[in-house]
Chain A
Amino acid sequence: MELSIIQRPDEFTQVELAGRLDAVGVQEVATRFQGATAARGRPTIIDLSHLEFIASLGLGMLLTCARSLHNRGARVVIVNPQPLVEKALETAHMNSVIPVVKSVQEAEAALT
């Protein structure tokens, strides 16, 4: 499970999650993920283009991030999930609290 933090010149936080966000993957990245996203309290873009799998613990990790940012007045957007990951997000009603868009540009527009 890989977490990449994209350096940006503006106020946005941007991260990429790649691999499998199952119980093992969550253990590997959860602390760093929350530190890189929720702890910064900024508008956040989570790129899931290279995420192959997500289970309930991974969904919980994303939801915890969205809740923390919401409480600090910031929003989060998910970018380009693969079809089966998007199906899991929809089934968990995640798209009702975290908008899903197709590109980083769309995410920037949604957060501006």
Chain B
Amino acid sequence: MTATFTRTLRSDPREFEQLLPELAAFLALHHVEASVTYVVQLAVEELILNVMKHGYHGETGHSVTMKLDLAGANEATLEVEDEAEAFDPRTTPEPDFDDMLRGDRVGGLGVHLVRSLSASLDYRRDSNRNHVRVRILPLPMPPA
């Protein structure tokens, strides 16, 4: 079974909010495995909101495109494409976990989660656009 979910959003958080139930329904319809579902939704949130907030600096009038390909219930590939300045999520520094109770925030946590919980994360810059590709497989979970 293969299936594809594609959306192009304006850089408006309200459009992102409308995307979430559609994405959840698509994943449920195709009986996608629980941890793959979790990481897909996590990656969509972290990557798209990162583009809207930091790539486009909160400005509306830009667009971001996501494409999710399912290869069965246990494998998903997410591609996010935007026209913001070059941003390679493979090279962002790891958050500072040593002193988490100090400071205002832990920067880079979203990208860290996506990098850590996905099977692979690739990036390319092409025609002045960022292309991020995340492959998602079931997570090893401890026995219940």
Contacts and interface: CB of A to CB of B under 8 A. Distances in A.
A91 B112 contact: yes
Interface stretch (A7-15, A40-48, A55-63): A55-63
Q: Which of B49, B102, B113 has the most C-beta atoms of chain A within 10 angstroms of its own C-beta?
A: B113
| Size bin of chain B's contact surface | 20 to 34
Interface stretch (B3-11, B54-62, B77-85, B136-144): B136-144
B117 A22 contact: no
Given A23-B45, A55-B46, A87 B139 contact: yes
Contact of B46 (A24, A53, A56): A56
Contact of A55 (B42, B95, B106, B141): B42
Given A67-B101, A83-B141, A83-B144, A23 B16 contact: yes
A53 B20 CA distance: 13
Given A56-B110, A83-B141, A24 B41 contact: no
Interface in A10-49: 22-24
| Size bin of chain A's contact surface | 20 to 34
Interface in B87-106: 95, 97, 100-102, 105-106
Contacts of B86: none
A6 interface: no
Nearest to B108: A56
Contacts, number: 67
B141 A87 contact: yes
A55 B113 contact: yes
B35 A88 contact: no
B116 interface: yes
Interface string A89-112: 001111011000000000000000
B34 A22 contact: no
A27 to B, nearest CB: 9
A106 B114 CA distance: 31
7 contacts: A23-B45, A63-B106, A67-B101, A83-B142, A84-B34, A88-B38, A97-B100
Given A60-B106, A93-B95, 4 more contacts: A24-B20, A56-B45, A63-B100, A83-B141
Considering the complex of A and B, which 8 residue pairs feature the smallest CB-CB distances, nearest first?
A: A56-B110, A93-B97, A56-B109, A84-B38, A97-B100, A70-B101, A55-B45, A91-B116
